[in-house]
Amino acid sequence: MRKVDYLIVGQGIAGTMLSWYLLQAGKKVIVIDDAKSNSASRVAAGIINPVSGRRFEPAWMYETIYPFARNAYRQLSELLQVPVFTERDLWTVFPSAQMRDAFLAKTTGNEYTELPAALKYEAFLDQPFGAAVVHGATVNLRSLLPAYRRYLQSLEALEEIHLDANALEVTPEKIIYKDITADKIIFCDGVGTTRLPYFKEIKFLPNKGEVLLVKIPGLETADIIKKGITLVPQENGLYWAGSSFVWDYENDHPTAKQREVLEKSLAQLLTVPYEVVEQLSAVRPSGNDRRPMAGFHPEFPAIGLFNGLGTKGCSLAPFMAAHFRDVLVANAPLMPEIDLQRYF
Ligand SMILES: Cc1cc2nc3c(=O)[nH]c(=O)nc-3n(C[C@H](O)[C@H](O)[C@H](O)COP(=O)(O)OP(=O)(O)OC[C@H]3O[C@@H](n4cnc5c(N)ncnc54)[C@H](O)[C@@H]3O)c2cc1C
């Protein structure tokens, strides 16, 4: 029998950050991950945007979570020796005069946004209503996740298998899974939680996002470009172009319908030809109130959950994982806004 303090299920951004903080606290951890190629973290663009949604509201707790995340990703970059975090501008193109006015009303005086002295990208973009610059960042999940996986392997702390929740033995003090005994199991399994027998009360509102990887000959920039659709420069010269939001879907595979939707948005943004190289899709693990979820099962305290990162995994995960670590190892009180008891 292998004995650990915590068994973490899932190595998306949630399981990565939580396991890292627990290891730093000197805890013994095993992470189980089945390497699903289209998990949310493996498909996401990794954007951190201080301005939220179509109404340009300031993102929840941004003043606290952004500096925390920046510091955490820089530390991980140093530990793993891969590029993880890049501060970038989001060139935000206004789709209409009304949207420009709404943006200005919400963001004037805000340190994260400014109006550019002159328009950029005029040869490539349709932007009759102008654009604003939003100071954000990206997390390079495609280098972070595999590099952290190798780090876990070097610590003999990774099991690349699918955890079958029906094979778990649960007692009030511990859990047993195959040859592993742990004081607690923490599910960081993204949308996988919706299929578990333990958290049926939680009101998940998972939504599927589809993305195109495109070549745009001649366009070279480090900026993110956004107008309905968002273009994020990738290391291989391609652009990540996404993403759609669908709440009613049959499965998590790419569809012709969403490709059409994405291409329509691209046509509204670009005035130059582009070529689609690949189409990706994944399901975002969102709760009905769009807040993260952390805490313990009311009947089985050995079973925990860290989930609900929704559309904002990259900005929320570091701070929320560090907070949950404090709850786990130092009995800190759990923030009521994220406590999953709100569902029970
Ligand atoms: C198209 C798209 C674009 C996005 N863009 C952004 C963005 O730009 N910025 C941003 O911050 N967020 C973005 N998001 C949201 C972000 O992806 C999520 O908030 C985040 O990835 C959730 O991370 P997670 O670790 O909770 O879940 P996941 O990433 O889903 O990770 C769960 C992990 O658990 C594993 N797993 C599940 N069940 C089991 C099991 N039984 N046994 C073993 N392993 C298991 C899976 O393989 C996976 O590795 C986007 C999401 C999508 C779909």
Q: What's the CA-to-centroid distance between 44 and ligand 1, angstroms? A: 8
Structure confidence by residue, pLDDT tens digits, 96-135? 999 899 888 887 778 899 989 999 999 999 999 999 999 9
Domain presence at residue 67: no
Domain presence at residue 183: yes
Give residues (CB < 6 A) around ligand 1: 9-15, 32-36, 39-41, 43-47, 162-163, 188-192, 209, 211, 242-243, 282, 284-285, 307, 309-315
> How confident is residue 93, by pLDDT bands cut at 50, 70 and 90?
very high
pLDDT score at 193? 96
Domain presence at residue 224: yes
For a mutational test of ligand 1's pocket, the pick from 178, 309, 315, 338, i.e. the residue with the most ligand atoms closer than 8 A to its C-beta, is 309
Domain presence at residue 118: yes
> How confident is residue 56, by pLDDT bands cut at 50, 70 and 90?
confident
Asked whether the beta carbons of 12 and 188 are under 8 A apart, the reply is yes
Is the pLDDT at 57 greater than 90, yes or no?
A: no
Is the pLDDT at 62 greater than 90, yes or no?
A: yes
Of 284, 306, 331, at which residue does a domain stop? Answer: 284
pLDDT score at 58? 86
Domain presence at residue 267: yes
Structure confidence by residue, pLDDT tens digits, 214-229? 999 999 999 999 999 9
Asked whether the beta carbons of 258 and 245 are under 8 A apart, the reply is no
Together in a domain, 132 and 213 = yes
- Average pLDDT of the chain is 96
Structure confidence by residue, pLDDT tens digits, 135-157? 999 999 999 999 999 999 999 99
Number of structural domains, the chain? 2
pLDDT score at 135? 96
Together in a domain, 273 and 164 = no
Together in a domain, 221 and 272 = yes
Q: What's the CA-to-centroid distance between 166 and ligand 1, angstroms? A: 22
> How confident is residue 232, by pLDDT bands cut at 50, 70 and 90?
very high
Structure confidence by residue, pLDDT tens digits, 245-268? 999 999 999 999 999 999 999 999
Q: HEC states along the chain? A: CEEEEEEEECCCHHHHHHHHHHHHCCCCEEEECCCCCCCHHHHCCCEECCEECCCCEECCCHHHHHHHHHHHHHHHHHHHCCCCEEEEEEEEECCCHHHHHHHHHHHCCCCCEECCCCCCCCCCECCCCCEEEEEEEEECHHHHHHHHHHHHHHCCCEECCCCCHHHCEECCCCEEECCEEEEEEEECCHHHHHHCCCCCCCCECCEEEEEEEEECCCCCCCCEEEECEEEEECCCCCEEEECCCECCCCCCCCCHHHHHHHHHHHHHHECCCCEEEEEEEEEECCECCCCCEEEECCCCCCEEEEECCCCCHHHHHHHHHHHHHHHHHHCCCCCCCCEHHHHC
Domain presence at residue 51: no
CATH number at residue 193: 3.50.50.60
Atom of ligand 1 nearest to the CA of 316: 11
> How confident is residue 331, by pLDDT bands cut at 50, 70 and 90?
very high
Together in a domain, 130 and 230 = yes
Together in a domain, 301 and 182 = yes
| 2-9 vs 29-32, strand pairing mode | parallel
Tell me which residue range forms the domain holding 116. Answer: 87-137+205-284
Q: Which residue has the tokens 């590099």?
A: 147
Average pLDDT over residues 236-253: 95
Together in a domain, 211 and 277 = yes
Q: What's the CA-to-centroid distance between 16 and ligand 1, angstroms? A: 11
Together in a domain, 272 and 214 = yes
Domain presence at residue 317: yes
Rounded distance, CA 96 to CA 86, Å?
29
Domain presence at residue 74: no
Q: CA 239 from chain center: how many Å?
A: 18
